[in-house]
Structure 1
Amino acid sequence: MTCDLCKLLAAPTDAVVWRDDKLAVVLVDEPGYPGFTRVVWNGHVKEMTDLAPQDRDHVMQTVWKVEQALRGTMAPHKVNVASFGNMTPHVHWHVIPRYTDDAHFPNPTWGAKQRDASPESVAARAALLPQLRAALVTSLES
Protein backbone atom coordinates (compact mmCIF):
# COMPACT_ATOMS: atom_id res chain seq x y z
CA MET A 1 0.00 0.00 0.00
CA THR A 2 1.73 3.17 -1.18
CA CYS A 3 -1.08 5.69 -0.73
CA ASP A 4 -0.53 7.76 2.43
CA LEU A 5 -4.23 8.42 2.94
CA CYS A 6 -5.12 4.74 2.45
CA LYS A 7 -2.49 3.89 5.08
CA LEU A 8 -3.88 6.49 7.46
CA LEU A 9 -7.46 5.34 7.05
CA ALA A 10 -6.55 1.65 7.37
CA ALA A 11 -4.41 1.94 10.50
CA PRO A 12 -5.89 2.15 13.98
CA THR A 13 -5.19 5.74 14.99
CA ASP A 14 -6.59 8.48 17.20
CA ALA A 15 -6.31 10.84 14.25
CA VAL A 16 -9.55 9.50 12.75
CA VAL A 17 -12.27 11.27 14.72
CA TRP A 18 -15.30 10.01 12.82
CA ARG A 19 -16.05 7.89 9.78
CA ASP A 20 -18.87 6.36 7.84
CA ASP A 21 -18.89 4.03 4.86
CA LYS A 22 -17.87 6.84 2.46
CA LEU A 23 -15.47 9.20 4.22
CA ALA A 24 -13.50 9.98 7.34
CA VAL A 25 -12.80 13.08 9.40
CA VAL A 26 -9.18 13.26 10.51
CA LEU A 27 -7.40 15.59 12.91
CA VAL A 28 -4.05 16.50 11.37
CA ASP A 29 -0.98 16.78 13.57
CA GLU A 30 0.27 20.00 11.99
CA PRO A 31 2.70 21.85 14.28
CA GLY A 32 1.31 25.23 15.27
CA TYR A 33 -2.17 24.46 13.92
CA PRO A 34 -4.24 22.52 16.48
CA GLY A 35 -7.65 21.77 15.03
CA PHE A 36 -6.41 21.38 11.44
CA THR A 37 -8.86 18.82 10.07
CA ARG A 38 -9.30 16.89 6.83
CA VAL A 39 -12.42 15.34 5.37
CA VAL A 40 -11.16 12.40 3.30
CA TRP A 41 -13.10 10.29 0.81
CA ASN A 42 -12.38 6.62 1.55
CA GLY A 43 -11.68 5.49 -2.00
CA HIS A 44 -9.39 6.61 -4.78
CA VAL A 45 -11.35 9.39 -6.44
CA LYS A 46 -9.35 12.32 -7.78
CA GLU A 47 -11.96 15.02 -8.34
CA MET A 48 -15.25 16.08 -6.77
CA THR A 49 -16.94 15.78 -10.17
CA ASP A 50 -15.94 12.10 -10.28
CA LEU A 51 -18.36 11.53 -7.39
CA ALA A 52 -22.08 11.05 -7.81
CA PRO A 53 -24.07 14.21 -6.97
CA GLN A 54 -25.35 12.77 -3.68
CA ASP A 55 -21.79 11.84 -2.68
CA ARG A 56 -20.57 15.36 -3.46
CA ASP A 57 -23.36 16.68 -1.25
CA HIS A 58 -22.34 14.29 1.52
CA VAL A 59 -18.71 15.46 1.36
CA MET A 60 -19.65 19.13 1.48
CA GLN A 61 -22.22 18.70 4.26
CA THR A 62 -19.46 17.00 6.26
CA VAL A 63 -17.04 19.85 5.53
CA TRP A 64 -19.59 22.42 6.71
CA LYS A 65 -20.25 20.45 9.91
CA VAL A 66 -16.51 20.31 10.59
CA GLU A 67 -16.22 24.06 10.02
CA GLN A 68 -19.14 24.71 12.35
CA ALA A 69 -17.63 22.52 15.10
CA LEU A 70 -14.27 24.28 14.72
CA ARG A 71 -15.86 27.70 14.95
CA GLY A 72 -17.98 26.77 17.95
CA THR A 73 -15.14 25.14 19.87
CA MET A 74 -11.98 26.99 18.91
CA ALA A 75 -13.31 30.47 17.99
CA PRO A 76 -10.82 31.11 15.17
CA HIS A 77 -10.53 34.49 13.48
CA LYS A 78 -11.11 32.73 10.12
CA VAL A 79 -11.50 29.19 8.79
CA ASN A 80 -9.70 28.19 5.60
CA VAL A 81 -11.41 25.49 3.52
CA ALA A 82 -9.48 24.10 0.58
CA SER A 83 -9.23 21.06 -1.64
CA PHE A 84 -5.70 20.22 -2.73
CA GLY A 85 -4.03 16.86 -2.99
CA ASN A 86 -2.23 17.10 -6.29
CA MET A 87 -0.24 13.97 -5.39
CA THR A 88 -2.96 12.09 -3.51
CA PRO A 89 -5.70 10.20 -5.39
CA HIS A 90 -8.37 10.96 -2.75
CA VAL A 91 -10.88 13.74 -2.76
CA HIS A 92 -10.16 15.51 0.51
CA TRP A 93 -10.81 18.89 2.03
CA HIS A 94 -8.62 20.78 4.48
CA VAL A 95 -10.49 22.72 7.17
CA ILE A 96 -8.03 24.93 9.03
CA PRO A 97 -8.77 27.27 11.95
CA ARG A 98 -6.78 30.48 11.53
CA TYR A 99 -5.82 33.16 14.01
CA THR A 100 -4.30 36.59 13.51
CA ASP A 101 -1.32 35.50 15.62
CA ASP A 102 -0.63 32.17 13.88
CA ALA A 103 2.73 31.78 12.16
CA HIS A 104 1.49 32.44 8.62
CA PHE A 105 -1.54 34.75 8.97
CA PRO A 106 -2.73 36.36 6.73
CA ASN A 107 -0.90 34.09 4.26
CA PRO A 108 -1.99 30.50 3.66
CA THR A 109 -0.43 27.93 5.96
CA TRP A 110 1.93 26.84 3.18
CA GLY A 111 2.91 30.44 2.39
CA ALA A 112 5.65 32.59 3.82
CA LYS A 113 5.90 32.52 7.59
CA GLN A 114 5.09 35.92 9.09
CA ARG A 115 6.10 35.39 12.74
CA ASP A 116 6.76 32.77 15.36
CA ALA A 117 3.49 31.68 16.91
CA SER A 118 3.20 32.13 20.64
CA PRO A 119 3.76 28.74 22.31
CA GLU A 120 1.16 29.72 24.93
CA SER A 121 -1.48 30.44 22.28
CA VAL A 122 -0.76 27.18 20.47
CA ALA A 123 -0.91 25.27 23.77
CA ALA A 124 -4.23 26.91 24.70
CA ARG A 125 -5.67 25.90 21.33
CA ALA A 126 -4.30 22.37 21.66
CA ALA A 127 -6.03 22.12 25.05
CA LEU A 128 -9.35 22.52 23.18
CA LEU A 129 -8.81 19.39 21.07
CA PRO A 130 -10.77 17.03 23.37
CA GLN A 131 -13.73 19.44 23.19
CA LEU A 132 -13.32 19.68 19.42
CA ARG A 133 -13.35 15.88 19.08
CA ALA A 134 -16.59 15.71 21.06
CA ALA A 135 -18.15 18.55 19.05
CA LEU A 136 -17.18 16.89 15.77
CA VAL A 137 -18.73 13.57 16.77
CA THR A 138 -21.92 15.27 18.01
CA SER A 139 -22.23 17.33 14.83
CA LEU A 140 -21.43 14.48 12.45
CA GLU A 141 -23.74 12.00 14.15
CA SER A 142 -26.73 14.35 13.76
Structure 2
Amino acid sequence: MPETQHFELAAPLQQDSYFVADWPLCQLRVINDQQYPWFLLIPRRPGLKELIDLTPADYLQYHQESWQLAAWLRQCFRPDKLNIAALGNMVPQLHIHHIARFKHDKAWPAPVWGVAKMQPYQPAAIQQYLGQWRQSLPAWPS
Protein backbone atom coordinates (compact mmCIF):
# COMPACT_ATOMS: atom_id res chain seq x y z
CA MET A 1 0.00 0.00 0.00
CA PRO A 2 1.18 3.55 -0.64
CA GLU A 3 2.62 5.57 2.21
CA THR A 4 0.27 7.46 4.53
CA GLN A 5 2.97 9.67 6.06
CA HIS A 6 1.93 12.75 4.04
CA PHE A 7 -1.76 12.38 4.87
CA GLU A 8 -3.22 15.47 6.50
CA LEU A 9 -6.79 15.71 7.66
CA ALA A 10 -8.64 18.76 6.32
CA ALA A 11 -9.23 21.34 9.05
CA PRO A 12 -13.06 21.28 8.85
CA LEU A 13 -13.08 17.49 9.27
CA GLN A 14 -10.72 17.79 12.23
CA GLN A 15 -12.90 20.48 13.84
CA ASP A 16 -16.26 18.77 13.27
CA SER A 17 -15.39 15.22 14.29
CA TYR A 18 -13.64 12.94 16.76
CA PHE A 19 -11.05 10.28 15.95
CA VAL A 20 -12.38 6.76 16.46
CA ALA A 21 -9.83 4.43 14.85
CA ASP A 22 -7.31 3.91 12.09
CA TRP A 23 -8.24 1.00 9.84
CA PRO A 24 -5.89 -0.34 7.16
CA LEU A 25 -6.79 2.38 4.64
CA CYS A 26 -9.15 4.83 6.32
CA GLN A 27 -9.30 6.91 9.40
CA LEU A 28 -12.67 6.42 11.07
CA ARG A 29 -14.16 9.50 12.69
CA VAL A 30 -17.55 10.42 14.16
CA ILE A 31 -19.20 13.77 13.44
CA ASN A 32 -19.75 15.84 16.58
CA ASP A 33 -23.53 15.83 16.29
CA GLN A 34 -25.46 13.69 18.74
CA GLN A 35 -28.64 13.83 16.62
CA TYR A 36 -27.40 11.08 14.31
CA PRO A 37 -24.90 8.21 14.44
CA TRP A 38 -22.78 9.88 11.74
CA PHE A 39 -19.39 8.45 10.88
CA LEU A 40 -16.76 9.27 8.27
CA LEU A 41 -14.27 7.06 6.48
CA ILE A 42 -11.32 9.12 5.25
CA PRO A 43 -8.71 7.32 3.15
CA ARG A 44 -5.27 8.17 4.53
CA ARG A 45 -3.77 9.12 1.20
CA PRO A 46 -2.71 12.65 0.23
CA GLY A 47 -4.51 14.63 -2.45
CA LEU A 48 -7.64 12.49 -2.88
CA LYS A 49 -10.87 14.18 -3.91
CA GLU A 50 -12.89 11.41 -5.53
CA LEU A 51 -13.26 7.65 -5.02
CA ILE A 52 -11.86 7.21 -8.53
CA ASP A 53 -8.60 8.80 -7.28
CA LEU A 54 -7.93 5.66 -5.21
CA THR A 55 -5.72 2.97 -6.69
CA PRO A 56 -7.62 -0.19 -7.65
CA ALA A 57 -6.26 -1.96 -4.54
CA ASP A 58 -7.19 0.95 -2.26
CA TYR A 59 -10.64 1.11 -3.87
CA LEU A 60 -11.26 -2.52 -2.95
CA GLN A 61 -9.92 -1.93 0.57
CA TYR A 62 -12.17 1.11 0.98
CA HIS A 63 -15.20 -0.99 0.03
CA GLN A 64 -14.25 -3.64 2.58
CA GLU A 65 -13.97 -0.99 5.28
CA SER A 66 -17.22 0.68 4.21
CA TRP A 67 -19.01 -2.67 4.32
CA GLN A 68 -17.60 -3.37 7.80
CA LEU A 69 -18.69 0.05 9.04
CA ALA A 70 -22.17 -0.28 7.52
CA ALA A 71 -22.61 -3.75 9.05
CA TRP A 72 -21.46 -2.42 12.43
CA LEU A 73 -23.85 0.56 12.20
CA ARG A 74 -26.74 -1.77 11.41
CA GLN A 75 -25.90 -4.12 14.28
CA CYS A 76 -25.11 -1.40 16.82
CA PHE A 77 -27.83 1.18 16.07
CA ARG A 78 -30.56 -0.79 14.22
CA PRO A 79 -31.40 2.11 11.86
CA ASP A 80 -34.33 2.31 9.47
CA LYS A 81 -31.90 3.27 6.68
CA LEU A 82 -28.17 3.69 6.12
CA ASN A 83 -27.07 6.75 4.15
CA ILE A 84 -23.61 6.39 2.59
CA ALA A 85 -22.32 9.25 0.48
CA ALA A 86 -19.19 10.98 -0.75
CA LEU A 87 -20.10 14.60 -1.49
CA GLY A 88 -17.11 16.86 -0.89
CA ASN A 89 -18.79 20.02 -2.14
CA MET A 90 -17.76 21.98 0.96
CA VAL A 91 -14.64 19.98 1.97
CA PRO A 92 -12.92 18.57 -1.13
CA GLN A 93 -10.76 16.01 0.74
CA LEU A 94 -12.22 12.57 0.06
CA HIS A 95 -14.39 11.54 2.99
CA ILE A 96 -17.36 9.22 2.90
CA HIS A 97 -20.32 9.77 5.22
CA HIS A 98 -21.96 6.74 6.84
CA ILE A 99 -25.11 7.86 8.66
CA ALA A 100 -27.59 5.69 10.54
CA ARG A 101 -31.02 7.18 9.89
CA PHE A 102 -34.27 6.75 11.74
CA LYS A 103 -37.85 7.59 10.79
CA HIS A 104 -38.04 9.63 14.00
CA ASP A 105 -34.90 11.76 13.39
CA LYS A 106 -35.27 15.50 12.78
CA ALA A 107 -34.31 15.35 9.11
CA TRP A 108 -36.23 12.23 8.03
CA PRO A 109 -36.72 11.58 5.14
CA ALA A 110 -34.54 14.44 3.84
CA PRO A 111 -30.73 14.47 3.94
CA VAL A 112 -29.26 15.57 7.28
CA TRP A 113 -27.37 18.58 5.91
CA GLY A 114 -28.79 21.95 6.87
CA VAL A 115 -31.98 20.64 8.50
CA ALA A 116 -31.09 21.27 12.13
CA LYS A 117 -28.19 22.96 13.86
CA MET A 118 -25.54 20.50 15.01
CA GLN A 119 -25.90 19.41 18.63
CA PRO A 120 -22.39 18.58 19.89
CA TYR A 121 -21.80 15.69 22.25
CA GLN A 122 -21.06 16.54 25.86
CA PRO A 123 -17.34 15.85 26.54
CA ALA A 124 -17.97 13.06 29.07
CA ALA A 125 -20.59 11.43 26.83
CA ILE A 126 -18.40 11.39 23.72
CA GLN A 127 -15.51 9.88 25.65
CA GLN A 128 -17.81 7.12 26.93
CA TYR A 129 -19.20 6.47 23.44
CA LEU A 130 -15.73 6.42 21.89
CA GLY A 131 -14.64 3.78 24.39
CA GLN A 132 -17.74 1.65 23.73
CA TRP A 133 -17.48 2.00 19.96
CA ARG A 134 -13.78 1.16 19.88
CA GLN A 135 -14.44 -2.06 21.83
CA SER A 136 -17.30 -3.14 19.56
CA LEU A 137 -15.83 -2.20 16.16
CA PRO A 138 -14.51 -4.98 13.91
CA ALA A 139 -10.84 -5.71 14.50
CA TRP A 140 -8.54 -5.67 11.49
CA PRO A 141 -5.63 -8.07 11.21
CA SER A 142 -2.33 -6.29 11.64
* TM-score in same-fold range (> 0.5): yes
Structure 2 CA distance, aligned partners of 1:20 and 1:46? 19
TM-score (norm 1): 0.71
Aligned positions of 1:84-95 closer than 5 A: 84-95=87-98
Structure 2 CA distance, aligned partners of 1:102 and 1:20? 29
1:27 is matched by which residue type in structure 2? V
In structure 2, the CA distance between the partners of 1:2 and 1:79, relative to structure 1 (3 Å rule), is closer
Asked if 2 retains the 8 angstrom alpha-carbon contact of 1:70 and 1:132, the reply is: no
In structure 2, the CA distance between the partners of 1:50 and 1:61, relative to structure 1 (3 Å rule), is same
Where 2:107 maps in the other structure, the secondary structure is coil
In structure 2, the CA distance between the partners of 1:87 and 1:106, relative to structure 1 (3 Å rule), is closer
Structure 2 CA distance, aligned partners of 1:105 and 1:2? 30
Asked if 1 retains the 8 angstrom alpha-carbon contact of 2:24 and 2:140, the reply is: no
In the alignment, which of 28, 36, 39 is matched to residue 37 of structure 1? Answer: 39
Aligned to 2:136: 135
Matched, 1:62 2:62: no
- More helix by percentage: 1
Aligned to 1:3: 10
Asked if 2 retains the 8 angstrom alpha-carbon contact of 1:65 and 1:140, the reply is: no
In the alignment, which of 71, 89, 94 is matched to residue 74 of structure 2? Answer: 71
**Deviation at 1:80?**
0.5
In structure 2, the CA distance between the partners of 1:2 and 1:64, relative to structure 1 (3 Å rule), is closer
**Deviation at 1:57?**
0.9
Aligned to 1:51: 54
1:75 is matched by which residue type in structure 2? R
Matched, 1:82 2:81: no
Query: Structure 1: which 5+ runs fail to align?
Result: 114-125
TM-score (norm 2): 0.71
Matched, 1:105 2:112: no
Query: Structure 2: which 5+ runs fail to align?
Result: 1-7, 117-125
Q: Over the residues paired in the alignment, what is the CA RMSD in angstroms?
A: 2.8
